[in-house]
Chains A and B, each alone.
Chain A
């Protein structure tokens, strides 16, 4: 290589700074500018009529970008339906990109706290980011509705609060990983009479947590976990792992994978002829959610998973939600859209209870704790002690209906409540 020094000429500097400006302009352009006129009229009105600022911290770039987009669509739809007013307060949503990076997430959270002074913060897809900003949120006494990350610790009593623990100011409208992993372990052992299972999960905090919760419940129900295997997150090639699965005798495989990993896993599973060899794929619901199912289609048939929602769920709220979402965006909503929908619904109902007042934090927290509503997923309420939702878990099986592979509900476990402390 030549060791010629980099010369910075004025022309280069201009080009470089021009490029930087373009890059900045092209960055996540999701931030809607607050409407100046509505803010002006609002400040003239009574305090309760003051503009409500919601800070949404979502991924708009990198691997989880589509999750962020889905949650944004859902939030926008809700506000549109309400005429952009919650409890008579005009709403300004400030979107920021967490870029799936805890450092960026922490900076943006700080921005919400210090610069934007938001009334409520929502969002965060990845658990490490949620854990990273937990203390900042707690000490700033900012209300935060977690709309995805399922790490158990965020709504539990944890010794020394490491890696995280529950906070009076933090609510969760999604799920804890215990909720989607433990009930299905019990279900397989007690209701389906499965004697032995093998766990195969993504090798990161959430996958490990899911395998442990499944194993505990399955063992308590009288089953035996004969072995476990872990694949690194973002494993490109799943064939070596599926080869290992096929060369051990336990037929029921409990898996935790999502997104691309789930697609590659299910395809490798079929390529090796696992269904014909009698192996059964089970797992936490993300294994066969829509993003995965629309790519693998019939290859996922027979997979039994647990989740708190399915697009096919038969209730009036879900039908209305799916219809409205489809009409607005010409797309089927996914589970992430439901989580964001329930998050903003809870905020709306709590605001109505306080007559739009967010200045009294304790009153607003009490209002959120008292929120109860019919969500697209069924009955929704927060557990008062943990702020994690109390919700029904559906056991779903992938079946072909009208030529399309869909999750059909085969059973329901009612009012699943996170234990709120570490289980053994």
Chain B
């Protein structure tokens, strides 16, 4: 592999990692805050992509889709939490089953409404070409994905560290019952968290749709990747999702190129290795079980 190719493949890996980070962030947030492994995450991702498809078909506006899809899916999350999830608070297995059920319903409703044909979202105008980068051409859209990932990460860490909302989240992750005891309306915080987590999944769905396509079954692929990322990076922290994305993305890319036969095995080897050395993931926190 020549240096130019190595640079290009590194960029490919980083942009894939950025997508994985965006995808896994919502899952990680919901788990950290609510202690729920939301297996409907892939379905929210898929719903985001299909909402984007509907918006783009009607208006041709990718950027409008990037706003509408997370709002719509976020609103759904905001409704589903008090309606369903709240009744099962603290009952982990029941919650897991509920979110699996939710994902089945969402995916089937999408199939009924949008059909089961394979679809694709066009690249937004202006981002559908390549520009010269370090001696080779590189697609602009991938550079946008990297930039978007960095922007989102910066926004998250600002909100997380500096804002009142961030303080609530940090406190909630540490000890939700104590937060409630201090007079914070924990029900509202949880509903908001679930809504934001769903919206993040939808954002990932929109951003990934031009590259990965829009089709029945995309929810499962996304869920598996996001679970790998959060397990490697550490469940419940945003920095964990970043670390996971940045490790899994490039590893997956170079694995596919260098050892195509073992690409998938390589990813799971990394998962196993990380879990052996750090059972809570790279940046995971030790949780005290109550």
- Seen from chain A, the residues whose Cβ lies within 8 Å of a Cβ on chain B are 1-2, 4, 6, 19, 26, 62-63, 65-66, 69, 203, 229-232, 234-237, 239-241, 243-244, 247, 259-260, 263-264, 267-268, 270-273, 291-292, 295-296
**Cβ contact within 8 Å between A259 and B215:** yes
Cα(A69)–Cα(B111), bound, Å: 12
Q: A26-B108, A239-B12 are in contact. Are A295 and B120 (CB under 8 A)?
A: yes
A-side contacts of B116, CB under 8 Å: 65-66, 69
Q: Is B76 an interface residue (CB 8 A)?
A: no
**Cβ contact within 8 Å between A263 and B120:** yes
Cα(A63)–Cα(B92), bound, Å: 30
Interface residue stretch chosen among B226-234, B252-260, B271-279: B252-260
Q: Which of A2, A26, A69 has the largest number of chain B CB atoms within 10 A? A: A2
Q: Is B80 an interface residue (CB 8 A)?
A: no
Q: A63-B216, A236-B221, A295-B120 are in contact. Are A244 and B211 (CB under 8 A)?
A: no
- Name B290's closest neighbour in chain A (CB-CB): A2
16 sampled A-B residue pairs with Cβ under 8 A: A4-B90, A26-B108, A63-B216, A232-B263, A234-B221, A236-B208, A237-B12, A239-B211, A243-B5, A243-B9, A244-B257, A259-B215, A264-B212, A268-B211, A272-B137, A292-B118
Q: Which of A19, A69, A243 has the largest number of chain B CB atoms within 10 A? A: A243
Q: A62-B216, A231-B256, A240-B257 are in contact. Are A247 and B5 (CB under 8 A)?
A: yes
B-side contacts of A231, CB under 8 Å: 256, 260
Cα(A236)–Cα(B42), bound, Å: 14
Cα(A6)–Cα(B12), bound, Å: 45
**Cβ contact within 8 Å between A272 and B130:** yes
- Name B254's closest neighbour in chain A (CB-CB): A240
**Cβ contact within 8 Å between A237 and B118:** no
> Besides A232-B264, A243-B5, 4 other CB < 8 A contacts?
A63-B217, A237-B211, A267-B120, A271-B128
Smallest CB–CB gap between A20 and chain B, Å? Answer: 11
- Name A19's closest neighbour in chain B (CB-CB): B101
Q: When the two chains form the complex, which single residue of A2, A243, A247, A259 contacts B289, counting CB atoms closer than 8 Å? A: A2
Task: Report the 7 A-B pairs with minimum CB-CB distance, sorted nearest first.
Answer: A271-B139, A295-B120, A65-B116, A260-B213, A63-B217, A236-B212, A240-B253
**Cβ contact within 8 Å between B213 and A263:** yes
- Name B140's closest neighbour in chain A (CB-CB): A271
Cα(A215)–Cα(B253), bound, Å: 27
